[in-house]
Structure 1
């Protein structure tokens, strides 16, 4: 059986690499270098095999990130919950994911809650209502592991067998005439 593929996507410095490091039981490093293209971690838990891809949030590696979305079973959009621009970053990544991988389940993880702005806006509240939504900090590795355990129990295990549909990017002319799915 193929490993269950999870892609971590999000703006640069949103905490994706720190989340992956926490899952690997590595000590928290606030100065972790930026990811170039993508990193992959493979692990097995309860006889299930998983691959988690930590993708680059840098614009110059966006093609690599989009390629990583292919054949993914779950996409996790990470965002820095302490950033005043979090809503803009979330919207950008949600648009990218919807464009290139519209049938794959999406989860949101707000990171850096240890230094988060303590304001909730309506946009984030709407995300909570529409998608699985978590807040955590990689400085608390147990919190990160709890989030992933929750994702595994509530999203992955019930939907382990996912029917795949081939999706291709819509062209402007196709948008006018409808959306194409080659099933």
Structure 2
């Protein structure tokens, strides 16, 4: 079985499990051409059990949203989240990443979006693998933030939407703002 077949089956399995646990949610499909070196590093990660990443749009009892800015893109706000570790379910990844990046424990309540991404080797387009990104919704009773990750420039609670957010988050921010 090829790496593309193995990762497609794993992504399908994880999406089915998430839909069983959290109900229906949109799944977007993307394809990205990777330079050979980057592609090979992805293959190595897949061989070790990695499948993608996960994060969460977290709100508190006052319906404030917990957002972060990364050092690599400090002009945009996004959700806490990060890379899957082998053996984790995607929900475990999201909870762990929120806690590591912000110090906040989150209860996941749903999935607002998932992305199935196909990575394609730039010099050999027949070489491919799939990965999965899952963005959950979550609630917390905690208000205190403790940034615990050097990659995080800032984490903050928002009562109103910030000016600039990452593209994947725009629709979720609108939904949150409209219910306020």
TM-score where L is the length of structure 1: 0.26
Q: Greater strand share, 1 or 2?
A: 2
Instruction: Give 1 or 2: higher helix fraction.
Output: 1
User: Which of 1 and 2 has higher RCO (CA within 8 Å, sep 6+)?
Assistant: 2
* TM-score normalised by length of structure 2: 0.26
